[in-house]
Amino acid sequence: MILIYTGEGKGKTSAALGQVLRAMGHGLRVVCAQFMKRDGVAGEQIILRRLLKDDFLAGGLGFLKNGKDVAKHRAVSLHALDWVRDKLKSGAQACILDESIAALNQGLILPEEMENLLGLAAGRDVHLVLTGRDAPAWLIERADVVTEMLCRKHHYAAGQNAIRGIEF
């Protein structure tokens, strides 16, 4: 299965992490790669590392801003893709690709690279969960489940900053 959590609203990563818990609860080997997100920044990284050990990778440099350091961002995205491929080949049964859609939309992962990964997972009966805003139409078409998060209200609009334990 390919599951996508997309949209402008909050909760995409949280929903994907719920899939981690559900799959692990049924004894599946789960791996998780975070694209874009730097290691040591988000609270979930502490728990994922504890739960998944070597099957977790925070493989980003932070979100790409103003097109700066694109080559560096692409290089770490390719490293994360290689890491995921190795994990798929070594027996993973479910794989979370957090913010992989953001990496795809910013050209850090190419569509053909994502297609290759989707094919590898399908050939090995691995469930994939992808997150990120603005999932492209071709990826939505390819997916089995797509959930779009809709923001009705957010404290950012009132000028508040991101809150530790809520947004990161």
pLDDT tens sequence across 86-118? 999 999 999 999 999 999 999 999 999 999 999
Residue 13 Rama label (left phi>0; alpha psi -120 to 50; beta): alpha
| Nearest-angstrom CA–CA distance, 110 and 128 | 17
* Residue 19 within any structural domain of the chain: yes
Residue type, 163: I
Q: How confident is the model at residue 165 (pLDDT cuts 50, 70, 90)?
A: confident
* Residue 163 within any structural domain of the chain: no
* Residue 77 within any structural domain of the chain: yes
What mean pLDDT comes out for the span 6-34? 97
* Residue 22 within any structural domain of the chain: yes
* Residue 132 within any structural domain of the chain: no
Q: pLDDT at position 151, please? A: 87
| Nearest-angstrom CA–CA distance, 26 and 39 | 28
* Residue 165 within any structural domain of the chain: no
Q: Tell me which residue range forms the domain holding 45.
A: 2-127+141-149
* Residue 58 within any structural domain of the chain: yes
* Residue 160 within any structural domain of the chain: no
**Residue 84: pLDDT above 80?**
yes
User: In this structure, what token pair is assigned to residue 88?
Assistant: 């798929």
**Residue 156: pLDDT above 80?**
no
CATH code, domain carrying 118: 3.40.50.300
Helix (H) or strand (E) holding 98: strand 94-98
Structural domain count of the chain:
1
